[in-house]
Copies of this chain bind each other. A is one copy, B any other.
């Protein structure tokens, strides 16, 4: 724990450099693309729900303990919305309210994985997956996404699965690539997993980590994985959809179609208790239920995405146009993304090298920033690109 506490997260280190640098040369002269902190305010419904609850609900009930899995009315509302929105018959008794996405993942992993188990992650992946999987005593197995477009590598997954494989984390829309896995690929994944389960006589659970579900562009369809594979646990968070990442509210949903699902749910309750999550914040549970399914106004992110992708590819950079989330995954023009980031920093561009995401040669650009930051940064990107192409890296 000491090593983990002392090891600075690369992203946070850049963020702290950014604070210092802004103080030195002025906020408007630093282009910080490091943090995935939503830059749009919470939808009006969030503030309205908060005010209505504070005004109308009895304090002891509003702020008191809920049952460990969450307030039953909240869970019922969420289950109903799942049924309505995704055409998947949900069950409130299999919904467990959590303190956000990280808690959803640590609780789920502690519930299903044990020492000796392998959990597959698709690289590039959110770096904390490794911390969470190892905390549950399991080991991480990285499988690279298809390199051309970061699509779902079904064939590579099939090769990687063995009798120790306990789960696969699927994160779509993906942090850091912004890619949404197509329905065809999810269907193929389900078929392959059913085949492997039978062949190996094991359980293989899909952990669908979906904090970016509502953040998609151009009407991209995000398949609801329980519709395609029965042994699925959905980990959801309201952080990004409602722009409330600091408030820590989300849920775990165990598919009612999962064999032994009620035991998995009981283990989720046990894991939550053991890790110290007594219940998810009670007032935020009720806000989440009232705002569940609200489509956030992501037009600002979409404008940023178009502007950034258009301008950077015109300059000459290569990137996959993101379907969702608020990240652009840019190919580094230098083989070493760390070297590229160091050069970029000289132009006050703060980018995150992809190495921590389990893949080299790229940078993550979080475009959940004010549009002005992007506009002002473009000349710096151009200079940076030309400097590299003209072979004058310092």
Contact = CB atoms under 8 A, between A and B. Distances in A.
22 contacts: A1-B111, A2-B266, A2-B267, A3-B270, A4-B273, A5-B111, A5-B267, A6-B270, A41-B59, A46-B63, A59-B243, A60-B243, A62-B246, A63-B243, A99-B277, A100-B276, A102-B277, A105-B276, A131-B274, A135-B274, A135-B275, A248-B279
Chain A binding surface SS class:
helix
Contact of A246 (B3, B63, B247): B63
A179 interface: no
A265 B277 CA distance: 21
Contacts of A244: 63
Given A37-B65, A248-B279, A275-B106, A269 B5 contact: yes
Interface string A288-331: 00000000000000000000000000000000000000000000
A245 interface: yes
A106 B272 CA distance: 11
Copies of this chain held together in the complex: 2
A259 to B, nearest CB: 14
A16 to B, nearest CB: 9
A388 interface: no
A153 to B, nearest CB: 27
A192 interface: no
Contacts of A111: 1-2, 5
Given A1-B111, A63-B243, 15 more contacts: A1-B267, A4-B269, A4-B270, A37-B60, A37-B65, A47-B54, A63-B246, A65-B245, A100-B278, A104-B276, A106-B275, A106-B276, A245-B278, A247-B283, A248-B280
A64 interface: yes
Contact of A275 (B5, B7, B59, B275): B275
Interface string A42-70: 10001100110010001110111110100
Indicate the member of A5, A47, A106, A274 with the most B CB atoms within 10 Å: A5
A233 interface: no
A287 to B, nearest CB: 10
Task: Assign chain A's interface to a size class.
Answer: 35 or more
Contacts of A281: 99, 246-248, 281, 284
Contact of A60 (B39, B51, B65): B39
A104 B278 CA distance: 12
Nearest to A271: B1
A63 B277 contact: no
Contacts of A263: 2
A6 B66 CA distance: 18
A342 to B, nearest CB: 25
Contacts of A332: none
A107 B275 CA distance: 8
A284 B283 CA distance: 10
Contact of A5 (B243, B245, B266): B266
Contacts of A66: 246
A110 interface: yes
B279 A276 contact: no
